[in-house]
Structure 1
């Protein structure tokens, strides 16, 4: 079952795949649109669980969005859960690389790779040339 929340500028679709909660983000993640992501992540963190955030649909992410993800990473860690990222592309991948955030999260090239366990977490490797 897929559950979607958000607004015109930003949406979060949440689904469970083989014990992993996948949150697919689409649009622009900033101060004005971050609340749906906060709520979805808070609801998804469970003891020992695995969260996978698909950033492939994001065209923009500011420091607010990054801070939501970093905060949830700590919350998940305290609960014995993991927070992984997939699909970093373009300007979003560049922001994660410049801030060093791509080094603190396990990052997969795609959701399929993350779910299949192929290639392992290895930093952004999209068509933008910002590979590891």
Structure 2
């Protein structure tokens, strides 16, 4: 079920698509995730958890940039999901985004998949 796309008032720097696929809530941010756009990702993640969707798959294949604010949004979602028996899976990270997770050590606390298909079949 497709829940649509949320756009940024900041000239479309971040678009977020949300859909349910099997037991997973797939959230696909596209563009730049930073201080100015973080709420556009936080809101659908919080909404999914509020609706009882505890397995969150973040399709990062079109995420071009992620700063510390964006990383904190994902870490916060992970803590909330794990508190209710779920988790956050990251899929298809571009090298520039993967590097942020590597440098900060955050890759160690997420389940990371090479592709969305791999994350959904896990």
**Structures share fold, TM-score greater than 0.5:** yes
Distance verdict in 2 for CA 1:78–1:62, change over 3 Å = same
Shift of 1:47: 4.6
Higher helix share: 2
Work out the CA distance in 2 between the residues paired with 1:90 and 1:78: 30
TM-score normalized by the length of structure 1: 0.84
1:27-66 aligned within 5 A: 27-45=31-49, 47=52, 49-66=54-71
1:22 aligned partner: 26
Q: Is the 8 A contact 1:30 1:63 kept in 2?
A: yes
Query: Structure 1: which 5+ residue stretches go unaligned?
Result: 118-132
Shift of 1:114: 1.2
Moved segments of 4+, more than 4 Å: none
Shift of 1:115: 1.2
TM-score normalized by the length of structure 2: 0.90
Shift of 1:6: 2.2
Higher relative contact order (CA 8 A, sep 6+): 2
2:93 aligned partner: 88
Q: Does 1:77 align with 2:119?
A: no
RMSD: 1.3
Aligned residue pair count: 117
2:104 aligned partner: 99
